[in-house]
A and B are shown apart, each in its own frame.
Chain A
C-alpha cells in the first residue's frame, strides 16, 4: 500500500454533501453519476434487445413455410422495420456508447465522472423518450413504421406511408440522434480533459481509444441523420419537396444523407465492440496486447475510411461513382486485417483461460471474420449487383452486427458484470449460453447466404413453394430459436447471481486497466486512490511489481520508467 496516494475528487466538505444521495426511484430519476446512468442505458437497451429479438423470432416463424399466413403482410412489414430499428438505433449503439462506455471510460482514464454529468443524464432521458416514441407506433391506428430501417424516400413520404407510426419513427430517431450527439461530446471531453496524471493518450486502454474514435464518428454522422429526418418530416407535413421528384427534389439525396450516416453507423456499432475484444483477450491470455499502436492506428484508419464509403450501399442506383466507393470499401479490409493479426498475436503463446468472456470474444472473431469476408465480396460492384437486396446481404450484415454487438457485447457484459455489481455470473451457465448461441448463430445465418445466392429477396413475407427454399428456411428458423433459448439461459444466470451472490472482489480476472483498481461496485466518484500510471496496464503493474515487463518500443526492460517513482512522490503526499 505504500505506493498508493490519496486522490480527492473534490474538496472534502463538498464530497460529504454528495454522500446524502436520493434513494430508490428518485435515485434513478435524479442521478448524475455516470455509473447509474450507464446502468440505466444498459438495462433499457438490453430490454429493447429482448423485444427486438422476439420480433426476429416472429419473422423467422413466418418464413418457415412457403405462403405462410402466420402474420399479416402489414404486420410483417412493421416487424422487420422495428426489428432493425430497435436493434440498430436503440440497442447496438446505445448499449455500447451509452451503457458500457458511460460506465467504463471514466474509470479507465481515472476520472471521477463524465465531463458533463447533467448533459449525460439528459442524454439518457432523450434516449428513453426516443425509444418510447418509436415503439408508440404499435398502439396507433395505422400501426408502426413499415418502410424498413432505412426509410427510403419516396416510400417514406406521406403518400406511401401515411399514419402516425411513420412520424413517430422519424421523431424517435431525431430524439435518439440528439442523445447520441450529447454522449459523443461528453466522451470526447472526458477523454481529453479528465485523464489521471501519467495517463497519456498512448497509455489509454484500447476500449477508451475506440470509444474516442467512435465519439468522433458520432459527431460526424448523427447530425446528418437528424437533419435528414427533419427534412423528411418537412416533406411529409409542411409541403416541402426536398426528396420528391415532382417538386424538383431528389430521392437519391435522401440515400446520400442516410448512408453518410448509415455507413459510419456500422462502425459506430462495431468499433466499441472491437475495443471490448481488445481489452478482454489480453487479460485471458495473460499477456500484454500485441501491437498496441497498430491497434490504435488501425482503429483510426477504419473510422476514416468508413466515412468515405457511404455510397457502396447505393451501387444499384446507377447514380454513384463505382470505382471510388469500391476501392475505399475494399481498403477497410487492411486495417481490419491488422486488428485480426494483433488479436491472434496477443493469444499466441499466451496462457489462455477460456472463461466466459474469452469464449465470447473468440466467437466474435469467427463471426466477424465471416461477416467481414462477405463484406469484401459485396464491396465489389459486380457481386453487389447480383446479390443486392437478397438474403445474402441479410446474412452478411447479421454476421457482422451479431458478431460485434452480441458476441463481443456480451463478452463485455460478462467481463464487467463483476465490477458493476460486485458479484460473479456463473461460468458454466455462461458457457452454456455461449455454445448454444454460437451454434445457433451459424445454423441461422449460413443457410441465408445460400438462399440469397438462389435469389431469395429480403423484406418479403412469402415465397412460392416450388422454388425449393423451404428446407434451408426451416434450418434457419431452428437456429434462430436456438439463439432465443440461449438468451433464456442468460436470464437464468442473472437470476442465480441475484439469489445466490458469489462475491467478486475488486479484480476477479487479474485484469490490466484502471477500472479494476476501484472497489466492486465502485464508490461514488470511483477512486479513493490510484496506482502510479506507468504503462497502458497500471492495475496489472501494481499487482505484479516484480514481473518483468517491456515497455512499448523498447527491446529490454531496463529503460522502463521504474514503478518506484510513485513511491517517492508518496512520501510528500503523506499516505
Chain B
C-alpha cells in the first residue's frame, strides 16, 4: 500500500512545485488552477492510502515473499452477466442526443437511466447472480 500511496503523493508534490513555479513566472490563472486540481487529485487519495498503510500489515501483494496460500480465500465479489450497464449506456446516449435532436428524447433516455439504476440496485441486493 505504501508504494501506491507514495506514487499518488508524488503526483501531488511534483505538480505543487510546477504549479508554484508557473504561478510566479507566467501569472496565468487557468493553467495554475488546473495544476492545483492535479495536486488535489494526487493528494486526496494518496494521503488516505498513506494513512492506511501505516496502520495495516502489508498485504500479501505487498510482500515479496508471500506465497499463494497467503492470499487464499475470497478475492472479491464479481457480478455475473448483467443487462443494466447496456440499458444505462443507451439511456445516457439518448440523454446526450436529446441536446441535439430535441428534448423529447429526454423522456425515454431518463426512463432507461432510472430503470437501470433500479435494476442494478435490485441485482446487487438480491445476490445470487452477483
Contact = CB atoms under 8 A, between A and B. Distances in A.
B56 interface: no
B79 A304 contact: no
Contacts of A197: 60-61, 63, 66-71
Contacts of A18: 80
A129 B93 contact: yes
A532 B86 contact: no
B81 interface: yes
A167 B100 contact: yes
A29 B79 contact: no
Interface size class of A (residues with CB under 8 A): 35 or more
Contact of A167 (B25, B81, B99): B99
A559 to B, nearest CB: 12
A198 B89 contact: no
Contacts of A90: none
Nearest to B62: A200
Interface stretch (A9-17, A57-65, A282-290): A9-17
Interface of B is mostly: helix
Contact of B28 (A27, A175, A300, A320): A320
B81 A21 contact: yes
Interface centre among B26, B83, B96, B97 (most CB of A within 10 A): B96
Contact of A171 (B60, B67, B97): B97
A569 B86 contact: no
Contacts of A256: 28, 30-31, 34
Contacts of A202: 3
A31 B18 CA distance: 43
Given A30-B86, A133-B93, A525-B78, A530 B61 contact: no
Interface stretch (A113-121, A399-407, A459-467): A113-121
B99 A233 contact: yes
B90 A129 contact: yes
Given A118-B79, A197-B60, A321 B25 contact: yes
B78 A565 contact: no
Contacts of A107: none
Contacts of A115: 76
A565 B80 CA distance: 35
Given A117-B78, A196-B71, A532-B68, A129 B96 contact: yes
Contacts of B122: none
Nearest to A140: B100
Interface string A162-180: 0010011001001100100
Given A174-B96, A198-B60, A198-B63, A125 B68 contact: no
A572 B69 contact: yes
Contacts of B97: 133, 171
A5 interface: yes
Interface residues of B, number: 60
Contacts, number: 193
Nearest to B87: A125
A200 B64 contact: yes
B100 A171 contact: yes
Interface string B97-130: 1011100000000000000000010000000110
Interface stretch (A306-314, A359-367, A408-416): A306-314
A323 to B, nearest CB: 8
A216 B22 contact: no
Interface string A537-575: 000000000000000000000000100011011001100
Contact of B78 (A9, A171, A200): A9
Interface string B29-56: 0110011011001000000000000000
Contacts of A88: none
A566 B85 contact: no
A307 B15 CA distance: 9
Contact of B93 (A32, A175, A201, A219): A175
Contacts of B89: 121-122, 124-126, 128-129
Nearest to B124: A118
B46 to A, nearest CB: 11
B10 A300 contact: yes
Contact of B83 (A30, A178, A304, A566): A30
Interface of A: 5, 7, 9-11, 17-18, 21-22, 27, 29-33, 111-113, 115, 117-119, 121-122, 124-126, 128-129, 132-133, 164, 167-168, 171, 174-175, 178, 192, 194-203, 212, 216, 219-220, 224, 233, 237, 253, 256-257, 260, 300, 304, 307-308, 310-311, 320-321, 324, 328, 525, 530, 532, 561, 565-566, 568-569, 572-573
16 contacts: A5-B69, A10-B77, A118-B84, A125-B86, A126-B92, A164-B100, A178-B92, A197-B70, A201-B4, A220-B41, A307-B38, A308-B18, A310-B31, A320-B28, A566-B67, A572-B69
Given A171-B100, A220-B38, 17 more contacts: A5-B68, A30-B86, A32-B80, A33-B81, A115-B76, A118-B84, A124-B89, A126-B89, A171-B96, A196-B61, A198-B66, A200-B3, A253-B30, A257-B34, A532-B67, A566-B67, A569-B69
